[in-house]
Structure 1
């Protein structure tokens, strides 16, 4: 690791607003890091455009060709790791990446893959977490939700939590207003999570 100039690889699948928060924080010094590669499994992901505008290399790496050849996720994850390795990432950040990564990927970057998940620890793992939280609120089952950043393990959204933030749900909320407030929180918690992960990795290397 090179403190003060950490190398980030960011994996996205969609609009890339959390990626933009990372890019902005790197540019203005709030993160002591630079994004060296942005990967997407979707060709139309606007996050790729954001990266290209910032002069950052991009990689479109779809799963479909692997499925068409009868290959499993292990082969996809192994090849994805091989494509990322030359960029020498200190940390890999899943910021809206919509694939579950297997051990074939995670073992190449032990303890160096973190994920932003739009729910609190132990709540609403997997897909559609914001919508599921809002529906649970409407049923009177919860009073709030939130988001977290955790270290990725093979168990879905169950790795060690680096940071989290509570987001209230108000009686006048619609799904859209709640989702907008969640995204605002995500843009902050992803930066907190990256800082925490880099500090943890730095301490482990100095030990």
Structure 2
């Protein structure tokens, strides 16, 4: 495809959320600015019906979908968590995204999801993914520290026990090991003695909003250069 025509076709993002969607909002605000040029969010998928991020997406004119684990299992007796992850993958690949961003998605996706997006597994009735779709995640900790849930609280407590001097945030590639994919962007975040956790958390979120945009642009540039 020639450069000129390539620029006229926006690069496609799918964003997965579970909560208020502040990280999603950061991406929405950056669309088609120098921070995230020639890009569009083609779908926001939530695993919580009440997630305010769905409202943010709707307000921005972005299509949304909802699929939660427990309702899915209840409606499909005999199905498993892995089956649910495959259905999430089906929703995603139907959007033909250039990249997928997990922006506060509070569900650990199994290897089957990654197999579909990587092209190793073809779903019945769906086209094969010819070019692997990169998946990135935002995690509020430094690489190798505080993997999994409650990372902010665990870092704050570790600092006050004298075990760490600071914490941080990262955007990393999603692999089967939780929070162990290649870090793409890493930033340290200071923890101040005596400050309430809410103040630390607010400063950390400010950094998250910057790096999730940087991470999205980085993987899009790898998949479909903006110029």
Give TM-score, length-normalised by structure 2: 0.85
The CA distance in 2 between the partners of 1:195 and 1:52, in whole Å, is: 22
Q: Say yes or no: does 1:85 pair with 2:90.
A: no
Task: Write the mapping of 1:70-81 to structure 2, written as runs, cut at 5 A.
Answer: 70-81=78-89
Q: Say yes or no: does 1:63 pair with 2:85.
A: no
Report the counterpart of residue 40 of structure 2 in structure 1: 34
Q: Is the 8 A contact 1:61 1:80 kept in 2?
A: yes
The CA distance in 2 between the partners of 1:180 and 1:10, in whole Å, is: 22
Q: Is the 8 A contact 2:172 2:185 kept in 1?
A: yes
The CA distance in 2 between the partners of 1:29 and 1:44, in whole Å, is: 32
Shift of 1:70: 4.1
The CA distance in 2 between the partners of 1:181 and 1:71, in whole Å, is: 41
Shift of 1:194: 1.2
The CA distance in 1 between the partners of 2:18 and 2:78, in whole Å, is: 23
Q: Say yes or no: does 1:15 pair with 2:20.
A: yes
Task: Write the mapping of 1:33-182 to structure 2, written as runs, cut at 5 A.
Answer: 33-68=39-74, 69-110=77-118, 112-182=134-204
SS at match of 2:101: strand
5+ long unaligned stretches in structure 2:
119-132
5+ long unaligned stretches in structure 1:
none
The CA distance in 1 between the partners of 2:93 and 2:199, in whole Å, is: 39
The CA distance in 1 between the partners of 2:105 and 2:112, in whole Å, is: 17
Q: Is the 8 A contact 2:17 2:44 kept in 1?
A: yes
Q: Is the 8 A contact 1:66 1:72 kept in 2?
A: no
Cα-Cα RMSD: 1.6
The CA distance in 1 between the partners of 2:34 and 2:115, in whole Å, is: 31
Q: Is the 8 A contact 2:15 2:45 kept in 1?
A: yes
Shift of 1:80: 1.2
Larger radius of gyration: 2
Report the counterpart of residue 130 of structure 2 in structure 1: none
Question: What is the count of residue pairs matched by the alignment?
Answer: 203
